[in-house]
Amino acid sequence: MQQQELIPHLFRTEYRKIIAVLCKRFGFDEIETAEDIASDTFMTAAQIWPLQGIPQNPIAWLYAVAKNKAKNFLQRQATFHNKVVPDTATTENASTVTDYEIDLSPKNINDSQLQMMFAICHPAIAPESQIGLSLRILCGFGIEEIADAFLTNKETINKRLYRAKEKLREENIPIALPDRAAIDERLATVLATIYLLFNEGYYSITNNKTLRKELCFEAMRLCYMLVENKFTNKPAANALLSLMCFHASRFEARINKNGDLVLYEEQDTSLWDADLISKGGYFLNCSASGNQLSRYHLEAAIAYWNTRKDDTHEKWEAILQLYNQLLQIEYSPIAALNRTYALSKANGKQEAIIEAEKLNLSGNHFYFTLLGELYTGIDNGKARLHFEKALTLAKTITDKQVIQKKIERLS
């Protein structure tokens, strides 16, 4: 990997780990300090590596610099408490500020991230702020990426994050796993954050990039942490991990050698990863306990059927019924569109056109792309009009290229 690509890549993978460990070490009172130290670490790398070359072990180098910066902060803090204002230094906080070790071992990183996920998802924090702050601190998202995820602007996100940080301090929320009842209460937000992280990697709007595997694999890693912990190993977490495994199994077939998106029906199924499909099945079986059916269970089951290489009526009827259940549990326009596609495969295009036009999602390019697909071969003139409308609404270069190819095929 080239130097100009390496630092952004490492920022994506390591910034969030450093933040989690430092926040746990300093507490939420010093959350901005933790962010500053992590940012300064990468700024130092950006200044030194072009001059001295990339170190043999870049991650170890970053951790060493972050540790030194954190130790310097703790030493200054100790000087302040013990010399500048000695009357305020108790035995308890004196021992804290003189312990300068920063543990960036894999185990402590995992423990810190797991504890941070549940601390940030405390009910004192507004739900949208919980997810936003998790994406910022635990996933390394930029403000613009978070704003896009919430379909809002950067100013709104900055205000939400500021209020959330203030609330964490006011409530003195500990960075630790809560009791079992609180784990169950907060798990939905934790899973929603991981799901958003995976989706941003699977279909990125902000970076004009078809697939960002590093985000998808980080989401899977965070979910692995949940299922590996006996207190957070819940059916919904297993279902989400199953869903991500099934989707990840088709990564290599989803992009061609030129980096272009390959649609599902055109993918080379020999490139699908059988091991990930097997893991998806394993975690789907693990999710089949308890008496609650989550959206992740249904989406994982749909994803399972999409790893079946046959194109039979049985397959599409099963997918259609799963979408019917999903829309009853949690309606979303995208799920409704996907259901309509499954309806066309199970019952034919004519029936699907009637259902699709009822949706009337006039601002959604996926909607017009689907209508173009449904009208292709029935009324190619209408199909072209819908594809052209989709082209005007599409946000990414990849989507525009896919739609343009569909228009060209009509000719």
Specify whether the CB–CB gap between 280 and 245 falls below 8 A. yes
Has residue 301 got a pLDDT over 90?
Answer: yes
Alpha carbon 69 to its chain's center: 29
Q: Where are the domains of the chain?
A: 1-104
The 10s digit of each residue's pLDDT in 350-373 is 999 999 999 999 999 999 999 999
Give pLDDT, residue 287.
Answer: 97
> What does the pLDDT read at residue 370?
96
**Please, are residues 22 and 34 in contact by the beta-carbon 8 Å criterion?**
yes
How confident is the model over 96-130, as pLDDT tens digits? 445 678 999 999 999 999 999 999 999 889 888 88
Phi/psi of residue 153, each to 5°?
-110, 165
Least confident of 17-31, 35-49, 127-141, 262-276: 127-141
Which residue type sits at 390?
A
pLDDT of residue 86: 61
pLDDT classification of 141: cutoffs 50, 70, 90: confident
Question: DSSP class of residue 376?
Answer: T
Nearest CA to 330 out of 286, 358, 298 is that of 298
Euclidean distance between CA atoms 171 and 165, whole angstroms? 10
In whole angstroms, what is the distance from residue 312 CA to residue 346 CA?
A: 8
| Mean pLDDT of the residues in the chain | 89
Provide the 3-class DSSP secondary structure of residue 89. Answer: coil
pLDDT value of position 93: 46
- Long-range contacts made by residues 243-246, C-beta under 8 angstroms, separation at least 24? 243/280, 243/296, 243/299, 243/300, 243/303, 244/198, 244/216, 244/219, 244/220, 245/220, 245/276, 245/277, 245/279, 245/280, 245/283, 246/276, 246/277, 246/280, 246/300, 246/303, 246/304, 246/306, 246/307
* pLDDT of amino acid 94: 43
| Pairwise CA distance, residues 218 & 215, whole Å | 5
Kindly tell me if the per-residue pLDDT of 137 is higher than 90. no
The whole-number average pLDDT for the span 87-95 is: 48
pLDDT of residue 96: 46
pTM: 0.85
Q: What angle do CA 25, 27, 30 make, to 5 degrees?
A: 105
Provide the β-strand partners of residue 255: 261
Task: Say which amino acid occupies 362.
Answer: S
**Which is nearest to 28 in space by CA: 135, 204, 176?**
176
Residue 136 has a pLDDT of 86
pLDDT tens profile 28-83: 889 999 999 999 999 999 999 999 999 999 999 999 999 999 999 998 888 877 77
Identify whether the C-beta of residue 6 lies closer than 8 Å to the C-beta of residue 46.
no
